[in-house]
Amino acid sequence: MDNVLLRVPVSRVVSSQRPARHSFGRRAHAPCSPIPLYPKMMSRVVRMRPLLLVTLVTALMPGGASLAPSTARRQGVNLEMTTHRHPSGRDDGTPLEKFRVDLDDPPHVRWKHIMKANREGARATMFYLFSSLPETVHSEVDVLISNAEARLPAWAREEMLGVADALNVTFGDVVIVNLFFEITPFCTSIVSQSAASGLIYHARNMDFGLAMPQLSASLRDIAIDVEFWNSGKLAFSATTFAGYVGVATGMRAGAFSVTANEREMTGSIPVPNIFKSLINLVNVLMSTDAYPVTWAVRELLEKEDSDFDRVVSLLGARKFATQMYLTVGGVSAGEGVVLTRGRNELLNTWRINADDGEWFLVQTNYDHWIPMPPWDNRKAPAEKAILEVGAEEISPSTIYKRVLSRDPVLNQLTVYSTTMSCSEGTYASRVRDCPKCSPFR
């Protein structure tokens, strides 16, 4: 990272003695003041928003994308054949490293030990993300962040400031990465009900790095399981990336499990949602109405009174910063649902109904009631695999081995697989690395 230069952080400049922070891919700038934007500056930011979005798209999405599995690849993947050494030293299928976050600690220090253990990987990931981002766009986004910092929830602001301190990078860059993760994951979420026990099993593959295969490799190095403790007790478990404070995959034992999938294509003629998502990214920095989905999920997981029905109701009603699919599992028969969310409204509620033969739901990144795009149909192979397992044999183990490990459900961009059971209190995540699987092109 020889080309990473120094810059005073965007926020919390308390004195001239505060150490300078690395700002990825930019020249050194004068210190940025955290004071509110003046009207002329704000109007300039608003006027340049279209240019900002177009430049972000061209910078962060350099190539077209298509998941095109061949017929031969639709069979189950031989896990022994795909096993090979990963740069992190973890083979495909190796359990993710587990860390503990104590919610009784001040937010600023909660992630310190995690970032120390993952410092090199986290900095490499950030450097890769920012290496192609034009300096002018990066600076303008920093302006938005400095103006919006006071409106961020206190826990998220303080935790991200702690991450920035631990990595010796700017607060603005940590916020950008956290919001970037909010709009870019491609995922497969599954919730199912066992005919033998009536238990609900929830699972997901997290795919990341569309048009940026190096990002997938970098994220495998910093994918972790985190146990969040409160008052000496395990509150909830989550799978995340070191430095990412939201939760896209999590479970509160005895209450609910949840996974968030990006809503990529919408409308009668599906078009990429990246433009809408980037507009919403700017919006969340400039308004108090929109809220990142994974921050809302994190807050619900922390609440002791959260249960399946309450979580489904709240996730269906809240205003969010972007569109999303939220798959929620519970502890009792019938407690499985996929919520299709617009920014301001609940568009569809899809529930398990074993009595009518619908004992499982598969959600990828497209509305479930329309045909899947031919270049990315992970849904049909996943449904076929689950039917082959059957409701009598469904379990976390069979979902992992016979569904999540089937091409193209498992593909070259899959970073991790997670299986969860609220009623049994089991939670397990594994790194995935399958170069022989179907690619995103």
What pTM did the predictor assign?
A: 0.83
Confidence class of residue 145 from pLDDT cuts 50, 70 and 90? confident
Return the number of other C-beta atoms located less than 10 Å from residue 184's C-beta: 21
Q: How far apart are the first and last CA of the chain?
A: 28
**324-382 pLDDT per residue, tens:** 999 999 999 999 999 999 988 999 999 999 999 999 999 999 999 999 988 889 999 99
Residue type, 138: H
Confidence class of residue 66 from pLDDT cuts 50, 70 and 90? very low
Distance CA(169)–CA(23), nearest Å, equals 6
Backbone angles phi, psi at 26, to 5 degrees: -130, 160
DSSP string, 164-184: HHHHTB-HHHHHHHHHHHHH-
Reported as half-sphere exposure (CB side, CA atoms, 13 A), residue 340 has a value of 19
165: left (phi over 0), alpha (psi -120 to 50) or beta: alpha
Look at residue 42 in the predicted model and tell me its pLDDT.
Answer: 39
Q: Quick one: tokens of 102? A: 């104590």
Q: Judge whether 418 and 206 are in contact, CB under 8 Å.
A: yes
The whole-number average pLDDT for the span 43-49 is 46
Strands (E), 345-390: 346-351, 360-363
Q: Which residues contact 257 (CB under 8 A, 6 or more apart)?
A: 202, 250, 251, 328, 329, 330, 420, 421, 422
Distance CA 47, CA 34 (A): 21
What b/e readout covers 46-70, taking b as 16+ CB neighbours within 10 angstroms? eeebeebbebbeebbbeeebebebe
Structural domains of the chain in order of their starting residue, each with its CATH number: 42-441 (3.60.60.10)
259-314 pLDDT, tens per residue? Answer: 999 987 665 544 455 555 666 666 676 776 778 999 999 999 999 999 999 999 99
DSSP state string for 200-236? EEEEEEEE--TT-HHHHHHHHHHEEEEEEEETTEEEE
Write down the pLDDT at residue 33: 30
Joined together, the tokens standing for residue 33 give 């003041």
pLDDT beyond 60 at 87: no
Under 8 Å between Cβ of 276 and 342? no
